[in-house]
Amino acid sequence: MEKARIAVLVSGGGTNLQALLDAERRGELRSGEITLVISNKAEAYALTRAGNAGVKTATVVRGDYPSQEAFEGRIIELLEKNRTDLIILAGFMCILSADFTSRYPGRIINVHPSLIPSFCGRGFYGLKVHRAALDYGVKVTGATVHFVNEVPDGGEIILQRAVEVREGDTPETLQRRVMEEAEWVILPAAAELVCAEILRKKHKGEKI
């Protein structure tokens, strides 16, 4: 069966990448295959996870390029060479330019560790999101998978899942619960939904 070709962009530990790799292995992600992992950090453990799964990797570091355009140009080159259908941002800690995102409408998705529109946008990433949720005192938080457009965390929502905040939570304990109960569940599920839609469009000869 033909599958959508997925490139995953990462920066760190790569637990969301692992959830995608596991879902593919279990046959839950069946309309897509992870064919490339790109990291903007050479030391990202996500690269080891990709290597262990036999997935091709590349490292593209912003500081090695004279401009954001040149940095993104290298990423685009790798994506094109890979014949990428879907780009998944899984803990990718860079904001991509409108030039980049407008090249791939409906073909970039991101996982964000809150219920958008709370605690999202520029400056809200990683543990900062959970710290902000605890400081505000919300009793429920969660995760969101959404399409990526030119507005940081502003694209159409695909899936969300709520997670309760518990008495005594720290940013670290809350992050872990949000990952386990929400991110690792909805990211593979959303990837399957979008890959199936991309394949449907390809078969009908529609523009993807």
Catalytically annotated residues? 112
* Binding stretches for ligand GAR (CB under 6 A): 10, 12-16, 46, 90-91, 111-113, 125-126, 129, 179, 183
What residue type is 198 in one-letter code?
Answer: I
Closest residue (Cβ) to ligand GAR?
A: 91
| CA 68/CA 21 separation, integer angstroms | 29
Distance of closest approach, residue 3 Cβ to ligand GAR, in angstroms:
22
Distance of closest approach, residue 177 Cβ to ligand GAR, in angstroms:
11
User: Residue 165 or 179: which CB sits closer to ligand GAR?
Assistant: 179
Check if the beta carbon of residue 25 is closer than 8 Å to that of residue 16: no
- Tally the residues of the chain: 208
For residue 122, what are the CA distances in angstroms to 15, 21, 145, 154, 165?
22, 28, 16, 10, 23
Strands in the chain per DSSP E: 4-10, 32-39, 57-59, 86-89, 108-112, 140-147, 157-164
| CA 149/CA 99 separation, integer angstroms | 10
Distance of closest approach, residue 9 Cβ to ligand GAR, in angstroms:
11
User: Residue 77 or 172: which CB sits closer to ligand GAR?
Assistant: 172
User: Residue 91 or 155: which CB sits closer to ligand GAR?
Assistant: 91
| CA 203/CA 206 separation, integer angstroms | 8
Distance of closest approach, residue 136 Cβ to ligand GAR, in angstroms:
17
Take residue 85 and report the two structure tokens written for it.
């259908």
